[in-house]
Amino acid sequence: MHITILTLFPEMVVPFFTSSIMKRAVEKGIITYDVIDFRDFAEGVHRKADDIPYGGGAGMVIMPEPLSRALDSVGAQGKRVVFPTPSGRLLTERYAEELAREEELVFICGHYEGIDQRVIDRYVTDEISIGDYVLSSGETASIVVIDALYRLIEGVISSESLDEESFTSPLLEYPQYTRPERYCNKSVPEVLLSGHHRHIAQWRLDRRLEKTMHSRPDLLSDASLSIDERKRLLFILDKEDRRWTLSEL
């Protein structure tokens, strides 16, 4: 996949591509990328890329011309162009899977109060929100979207890791432990040292059910749980003296 990021702050974006798992994906040739400073497409000595909003109001708005010249330079029309914004469609694992199937993505990082609507209308195919809160920069939001999608591309991480984690299933993840066996007077749960695969699987399922029930009960309401998972959940609810019934889940 080729990822192009248009930004006024390349120094916020580049480290993501030169570190950790993304660095390896780039080295393997799974991901190629360009980080483009669209101020380079602005005119005048000051290379101005933003201006005050028509109609008044606080802050600055990114001007259409420098940004559209940068978009034209990468042939953005006809490509999938993502603009992260709190007023976009909410990013979910399903949405990330859909984006991960593209061969090329272009990201526009907004800053200040936003970008001129005419650029959105002309180029943007996907306005994406990463959650119901407001960030000060589109760069961090773009990185979140890219992180969620690129790891789903074959060869980036092991398919085993993908299979086990939250949101590919409706249940959240079980807790993990590693050496040492004792840390600050706390031991690793016995069952994990037992080598008994069925007991370990059962213990992990129980922890996932508990975690989901406490942190995200909303996920259980539409979770497609198996009969065994439902039985375990009822058992856990019973233990916690919660008088829920299956029909309420």
**Residue 127 CB, nearest approach to ligand ADE (Å):** 9
Of 135, 138, 155, 146, the residue nearest 34 (C-alpha)? 146
Strands 186-187 and 182-183: antiparallel
Identity of the residue, 115 or 213, whose beta carbon is nearer to ligand ADE in the bound complex: 115
What is the helix (H) or strand (E) element at residue 5, kind and residue range? strand 2-7
**Residue 4 CB, nearest approach to ligand ADE (Å):** 18
Distances (CA, A) of 167 to 31, 96, 198: 24, 11, 23
Identity of the residue, 54 or 133, whose beta carbon is nearer to ligand ADE in the bound complex: 133
Binding site for ligand ADE (CB under 6 A): 84-86, 129-131, 133-135, 138, 141
DSSP helix/strand/coil, 222: coil
Residues 6 or more apart in contact with residue 232 via CB below 8 angstroms: 202, 205, 206, 209
**Residue 114 CB, nearest approach to ligand ADE (Å):** 9
**Residue 194 CB, nearest approach to ligand ADE (Å):** 44
Identity of the residue, 131 or 175, whose beta carbon is nearer to ligand ADE in the bound complex: 131
